[in-house]
Amino acid sequence: MTNAIVPWNEPTGSVVPKAASTAVDIAQVAVNLSTRDQRQIVSAFTSDSFEMMAGFVLNKALSQLKRTLASLGMAFVGEMLGRSDLNEDSVPTVSISDFEAITLARELGLINSTDAKRLTQHLELLAHFDGLSPNGTDTEEMTREEALSFLRTCVNSILSRPGNIAPLEFLTFRAALEGRTFKETTTKFTCSKARRISLRRRRLGSCCPVARASLALRLSTLLATWWCWFQLCGLPSERLKSGLSVKRMRR
């Protein structure tokens, strides 16, 4: 048995079978929905209430996504989103917008970029139908194919998946910054390098409050750890050294 490093990656592949072409076939894959919810989805679809079904299933999916993010701590979510108004008492389904939930879930690897794009498009399409005038709703309706696409995307990306434990591992790693010196060869840094640069920078930004808030953090640990983080995020060491020298001169 080898001890190869397995980096945390976003979910890949399709949970919903390609052969699933009806609302019944897709809904029964949604293990995170109750039997009652599945029946309501199928009933709305078969009665041609496509917009009602699409809104219901999208709301269920995004509510679960927000609760998953909130399990990391709402204060942590607030740091990641750059929102100081969020704290541990904030209600995730109310305090986090749909677009914020999709974006943060994609950057944390809870959903992949393709599903994130589809969820965003579904949100915009649903908002379009909701914004139509009463006269427009009689002539412009969601099609059966569009409703089925809503259902497939929500079930495949969120409602059929048990969840990704990677953010919890990252949260533990973030807390460890207060008392441990990391090197560029440390296993956790090696895993971090496997992720895209945008996520690396998001990680760096989310870890900054730890250094600011912890007054007991040892200076040597802080400098050694953040030096590795700056290198990890692609910041040229010459620029960093130059910036530090300028700050010393100003002091």
Do 102 and 192 belong to one domain?
Answer: no
Which residue, of 159, 192, 209, is where some domain finishes? 159
Per-residue pLDDT at 161:
78
SS3 for 5-73, per residue? CCCCCCCCCCCCCCCCCCHHHHHCCCCCCCHHHHHHHHHHHHCCCHHHHHHHHHHHHHHHHHHHHHCCC
Asked if residue 237 and residue 219 are part of one domain, the reply reads yes
What CA–CA distance (Å, rounded) separates 229 from 222? 11
Distance between CA atoms of residues 60 and 67, nearest Å: 11
* Co-location of 77 and 195 in the same domain: no
Same domain, 199 and 126: no
| Statement to judge: residues 172 and 136 lie in one domain | no
Least confident of 97-111, 168-182, 185-199: 185-199
190 and 131 share one domain: no
Looking at the fold, whether 53 and 138 belong to one and the same domain comes out as yes
What is the percent of the chain with per-residue pLDDT over 90, rounded to a whole number? Answer: 38
- Cβ neighbors of 103 (< 8 A, separation 6 or more) are 116
Q: Is the pTM of this model over 0.85?
A: no
Domain that holds residue 111: 23-159
Q: Do 76 and 126 fall into the same domain?
A: yes
Q: Residue 147: which of 23, 33, 14, 39 has the closest Cα?
A: 23
Residues 137 and 230 in one domain: no
Provide the residue type at 152 as one letter.
R
Domain membership of residue 10 (yes or no) is no
Query: Is residue 49 located within the same domain as residue 147?
Result: yes
Contact criterion met (CB below 8 Å) for 221 and 179: yes
Q: What is the pLDDT of residues 139-190, one digit of tens each?
A: 788 999 999 999 999 999 999 876 544 555 666 666 665 556 555 555 554 4
